[in-house]
Copies of this chain bind each other. A is one copy, B any other.
C-alpha cells in the first residue's frame, strides 16, 4: 500500500512550522494549516498537505505577502468589498466569512466579496463556518484558466468552485463543494499516471474536440464544464463557471477569466476574486433545520438502483472519509507525499519531520 499514518496534530504543526520557517506570520500559518488539514480529513487530498510546497514557495518568493491583513474597502450592513492585500488565501477567506456571518446575524444576510486574494484551499471550509452559527454558508472563488467553454478550444475559466453548506438537526448538514468543471484536474492527472483512458465528457484536446486521452487533455487541451459536451448540456456547466466569475472577479474588480495567471506559473501576483455569503434561516420560516433533516433523510433512505451503492447527499462522501480517519486514528498519506514534504522541511530547517514509521497494511 505504501501509505503511512500521520496524526492530525502532527500534520497541523508540521505545516505551521514549515510556513513560519518560510516567512509567514504564525497566525497566517495556522489559518493555512487548518484548511489544508480539513481538506485531507474530508478526502480532498489534492487540496491538503499535498499542496503545501506551493504555499511555501508563494511566501518564499514573496509573490504572496508575508505581512499585512485584509481590509474592508466598502461596506453596508449587508455587504462588503474586502481587499485581501495579497496575503494567504485562508486568511482572506476567514476574514470575509467572519464578516459575512456577523452581517447575517444583524440583518439576515452577509454578502462579502474579496479582491487581492490567493488560493484558499477547499471552498467548503469557509461555507461550513456558517454551520457553527446555524446558518447557511456559501463560498466561491475564481482560479487559473483550465476549462474550455462549450464550442471553444482555449481555456478561459478556472474550475471555479461552488460551495453551499446548510445545517440540519443533531450536527447533520448539507455540504455541496464542487468544481464547475466535469472533474478536477487531479483526476485527469491520476488517470494519465496510471495509463488509463478517461470517460467521455471530462476533457478535450487542443482543437476543442472531446477526448478520452488524458495526455491530450493535459497538453494544450482542457477540462470540460459539468455536463461535458454541448449535446449533454455542457453549456450549463459553462454558464455556472461564468456565474462564479461574476460573483468573484467581476464584482470584486480582481483578475478574472483568462486574465488570471496560468496554472502553476507563479511569477506574478494571483489577485484572485472570491465571494463569501452567510444567510440566517431565522429571518425566514421557522423549522429550517427540521425540514433540512427531512430532505437529507428522505434522500438517504431512497432505494438504490444498484444494491449496495446507497444514495448519498452532498457531504456524505466526506463524512465517510472523516469517519475512516477517526477509526485509523489519523490521516493516511502516500509515502512519496510524506518524503517530498520532508525534503521541503529539511531545506527550511524544520524539525521534527513527518513520521514515516506507521505504515498501513
Contacts and interface: CB of A to CB of B under 8 A. Distances in A.
Interface stretch (A35-43, A48-56, A276-284): A276-284
Nearest to A246: B166
A120 to B, nearest CB: 19
11 contacts: A79-B283, A108-B111, A113-B284, A151-B310, A174-B242, A176-B239, A208-B305, A227-B228, A228-B232, A251-B285, A256-B295
A237 interface: yes
Closest 4 CB pairs of A and B: A208-B305, A253-B285, A79-B108, A78-B78
Interface of A: 74, 76-79, 81, 107-109, 111, 113, 115, 136, 149-154, 156, 162, 164, 166, 174, 176, 178, 182-183, 199-202, 204, 207-209, 226-228, 231-233, 235-240, 242-243, 245-246, 249-253, 256-258, 279-281, 283-288, 291-292, 295, 298-299, 302-306, 309-314
B77 A77 contact: yes
A217 B251 CA distance: 41
A217 B332 CA distance: 43
Given A253-B285, A284-B251, A79 B109 contact: yes
Given A162-B240, A227-B228, A228-B232, 17 more contacts: A79-B107, A79-B109, A107-B107, A109-B111, A111-B279, A151-B311, A153-B302, A153-B304, A156-B302, A166-B246, A176-B239, A178-B236, A242-B299, A251-B279, A251-B284, A253-B286, A256-B291
